[in-house]
Structure formats: structure tokens, C-alpha cells
Chains A and B, each alone.
Chain A
Amino acid sequence: MKLSSIGYLFKEGFKNIWNNRMMSLASVVVLVSCLIITGAAALISVNMSTLISKVGDDNQITVFLEKELSDLDSVRLGSEIGKIKNVESYRFNSRSDVLKEYRKSLGDDIYESMQGDGNPFGNEYKVRLKDLSKYNDTVTQIQKIEGIEKVSDRSDVAGKLTKLNYFVTIVGSWVVLILAVVTLFIISNTIKMTMYSRRFEISIMKSVGATNSFVRIPFIIEAMIIGLLSGLLASAALLGMYNPVRNAASGIIGMIADSTLTFDQIWLPALTVMSVIGIMIGLIGSIISISRYLNKEGGSIIGK
């Protein structure tokens, strides 16, 4: 391919889009919609994972010990907890420490009166898990240890989020797969239509000795430009919605604000990935439709 040809081929590609502008517009609209849905699913999933890992980070189960358990027995019980495989770390929290945590809300007078034997709390252990998905098993194991009153459900949020994320990933993958097929279909049809409307020119090009790749390239460029344009538009739309949606969500669940990705963190990756996906869809979609056309010869191209 000569360098001088590249300009010409690009010009032809743009001309195709313009000459076939209704169909080009239609495929951009469909592609943008599909990319927005896909991108939204991806962004939600990525943020969920971030959220879960953050929640998981300060996620610790509280193990409440029976009030009657002596400090010595409590320490022994701690080492039992430590033996459980999925336990990353455990920290002793004595009953007086627990009471201290409530000092503010109880008021100094009541706090003073609860010192010593009046303390309604038992000793506690703050336990961190290695793998959150094995939460239930681990809790069951802990509960089997003698001397435990109950195990807190603090990690419920994380557990539910994990399940939700799993759901989003599964449903998202299916949606993305279906949309990919739809977009490929749309774009290959668009190219097929441009080729049909230019079949006469194609037949002349072939009769004067244009190589197949030379005939093909403007159509591939056309499809890739449509794909790129759609990728850019879709990411612009998604990024435009990102902060408002994130703020609204933070209004409902506070921790979203500092446990999800910021606009600055996502805009460049999102833009790049969406553009690349758009271009790839264009490339694949056009290749699907072009090869069939190019195998025809002479009059049969224009239906004679």
C-alpha cells in the first residue's frame, strides 16, 4: 500500500459515511445505545468490586463471648479462633474497652455506675477474614467454639454486595454478549448497504484492476469511523452521567462516596476502552460483510 493511497482511501471512507448518512446515523445510534448499556454494566461492576474490597477491608466480625467467661478463658478461646483457616487476624476487646466505646452515648454518670460488676458487656474479639465469600462457613466454625454468645452480622453488607456483584456480572455478560451480536449485525448490514449502493463503482474498480484490499479498505475505514464515533459518543454520555449518578447514590448509601472510583480515575480508561471496542466492532462487522461481496466478478456485481 502506497502512502499516497492512504489519504485517498480515507477520503473514500468518509464519503461512504456521508453518502449513506441515514444508515450511518442509524448504526451510530444503535451502537451508542449498546455501548452505553455495556459501559454502564462494566462501570457498575468495577465500582462494586471496589466497594466490596473496601467494605471487606474494614470488615471485621465481632465475636461476643459469654459474660461469665473469665479473661483467661477468653484468651484461650482467642487462640481457638486463630486456628480457623479463613481467619486472618483477631484482636481482643475487653469488656471494659467495650463499655468505653459507649461512654459518650451513655453519659458519664451511667458509665461510672456500670464499672466493674455492673458492666453489661462481655469480652469480644474483632476478627478479620481472609476470604469473604467463605463467610458463612467460617462463622459456623467460630460458633462451634465453646463459650461464644453470638457472632455479629457486620459483614452482611459485604456478603450481599458480593452476591449482587455476581448477579450483575452474570446478567451483564449476557446483555453484553447479546448487544455485541446486535451491533455486529447492524454494522455489517450498514456496510452491506453501502457496498450495494456502490456496487457499480466496485465493478468498475475491479475491471480496471483494483486489488481486493484496495476495494475493501474504504468500507473498513467507514465501519471503523462509525465504531470510533459511537465509542466516543457513548463514553461522553456515560462520563457525563457518572458524577450525578455517583452523587445520587452516595446520598442513599454514604460509603459509596469514598469507596468507589472517582471521575478522574475512570475517564481515560473508559474513553480508551469504549473507543477501542467501537473500532473493533466496526472492523469485525465490516470484514463479515465485505468478503462475500468481493468474491463476485464483473457484471454479477451489479446484477447483470
Chain B
Amino acid sequence: MIHLENVSKVYPNGTEALKNISLDIKQGEFVFIVGPSGAGKSTFLKLLIREEKATFGKIIVNGRDLMKIRKRKIPYLRRTMGIVFQDFRLIDKMNIYDNVAFAMRAIGTPEKAVKKRVKYVLKLVGLNGTEKRRPNEISGGEQQRVSLARALVNNPEILIADEPTGNIDPERSFEIMKMLVEINKRGTTVIIVTHEHDLVKKFGGRIIRIADGEITHDEFIHTKYQPDKLSDSPENTETDNSEEAENI
């Protein structure tokens, strides 16, 4: 699904953001990308959505060779991915419904299909009933869920989230994470960049640590996490850090 081979990214100003990265992410995986500020996490995501082009190496995403992909084809690559931004990126003058519908209209989906799908996705993230409200009339957590709904509305194969919980309080973060796990269970590959170690520990999954443009750890953390029991206090979840490194 995602295959990187000796990938390096050097920005025009000379910054070497990623150095010789190789990794594979299979369909249906739940992946955390962690690491200090400036490590190259966002750069990694940008390479995946082809917002930036790698300087060296080989990148395959959803069967497309991103080093050779033609410019005209990039939009179609992006339609297979949903992106959640840290700053939500909602359009203030549109209501919740239109914010989500916008992602479908932008790729030419007929209005009838938009209506049906948006309704479904808003329900999925627990926002039915707020359709008419504007982004500034809802809480940060709700805004992030709108952002998530928008990322999901085109039924992506991969969901990419850069600091999806960065701007919201821990409890809300927890809810968002629950949803991401739920979405992952339905078969969508989920890649999350985060600073929040608590969340990583609680939810577990594959953790890829990047530092200074290089992958320093790539491991699985198992938890006894049960999605159904999440509604009670987060502290209940036990973590179990087995250092089952899966080096590449």
C-alpha cells in the first residue's frame, strides 16, 4: 500500500528533512509517527500526498509511483487519501454540512450522492444535528470531528492525520482517537503524526519514531485496549510496551 525505498528529501534551501528512509505500511495498519519537532514527520506526510516530491528514492502509494506520477494524475492519487489537519482547516463561511460536502463537490460528485454520504459520515463522527452550524459555533473537538468527517467523506483507502489532537484537550483527543480506531477497524489504513505519548501508549499500534530525518524505531505496542470500554475513564487502559521492533 505504501512503500518507501531509500527516500531522501532535501528542501530547496538545503535542509535535509528526510535521510534515506525505507519502510512499508500495509493495508489496514494503524500507524503512529512520533518524533521531536523538526524531525521530518510532516515532510513524510507531504511526500505521501505528493505535496512535496522526494529528492531521491522510490515511493509507491496505492499502486502509484510518486516519483514518476504525472501532474495531471496527482488529484486522483489524493482522492484515495483523506487528510486531517492540526488546524482543522474548516471554511468559516460555510456551515458544517457544506464544509464536509465541499470535499465531495470539489471532485465533481453529484449532489444526490453528496447528500446521502455527508449525512452518513456526520453521523459516524457523532455530529448529526449540527449541520447548520458554522465552525465558529462549535467546540474545538467538534471542529476536529468535522475535519475528520471531511477526510472520510470520499471513502479514502488511507487516512492521514497531522497532529489531529494537537489543538484540543485530552478528553476530546481521546474521542477523536477512538473514532480513528473505529475507522481503522473498517479497513482504512490510518497514519497519525502525534506528540502525545499518552495516546500512543493507550491505543497502541505500530509506532514509527523519526529523529533528525531518520527512522530510529519502528515497533508495535500492544495494549489491552477495548474500544467498547473506552467510554469510561481513559486511565483504565493498561499498556504493555513489548519492544517488538520490526526493523526494516
Contact = CB atoms under 8 A, between A and B. Distances in A.
A5 B111 CA distance: 9
Contacts of B154: 208-209
B46 interface: yes
Contacts, number: 64
A214 interface: yes
Interface string A211-225: 110110000000000
A210 B46 contact: no
A204 B110 contact: no
Contacts of A200: 89, 91
Given A201-B91, A204-B89, A209-B78, A298 B108 contact: no
B110 A2 contact: yes
Contact of A209 (B102, B105, B107, B110): B107
A136 to B, nearest CB: 64
B79 A209 contact: yes
Contacts of A205: 102, 106
A4 interface: yes
Contacts of A4: 108, 110-111
B2 interface: no
From DSSP, what is the main secondary structure of chain B's interface residues?
A: mixed
B108 A2 contact: yes
What interface size band does chain A fall in?
A: 20 to 34
Given A207-B49, A209-B76, A201 B102 contact: yes
Interface in B19-66: 46, 49, 51-52
Contact of A211 (B75, B81, B150): B75
Given A200-B91, A201-B91, A297-B51, A210 B111 contact: no
Contacts of B110: 2, 4
Nearest to B80: A209
Interface in A160-215: 200-201, 203-212, 214-215
B75 A210 contact: yes
A298 B85 CA distance: 11
A30 to B, nearest CB: 28
B107 A208 contact: yes
Interface string B85-117: 000010100000000001101111011000000
Nearest to A19: B93
A212 B108 CA distance: 12
Nearest to A200: B91
Contacts of B52: 297
A297 B102 CA distance: 19
Given A4-B110, A214-B108, A206 B91 contact: no
Contacts of A201: 91, 102
Given A200-B91, A297-B51, A207 B108 contact: no
B67 to A, nearest CB: 16
B168 interface: no
B83 to A, nearest CB: 5
Contacts of B89: 200, 203-204
Given A207-B78, A208-B79, A214 B91 contact: no
Contacts of B75: 206, 209-212
B77 interface: yes
A4 B104 CA distance: 13
A200 B107 CA distance: 16
B46 A298 contact: yes
16 contacts: A8-B105, A200-B89, A201-B91, A204-B102, A204-B103, A206-B75, A208-B150, A208-B154, A209-B79, A209-B81, A209-B107, A210-B75, A210-B107, A211-B75, A214-B106, A214-B108
The 9 closest A-B pairs by CB, nearest first: A209-B78, A209-B79, A298-B51, A210-B106, A205-B106, A4-B110, A208-B103, A5-B108, A209-B75
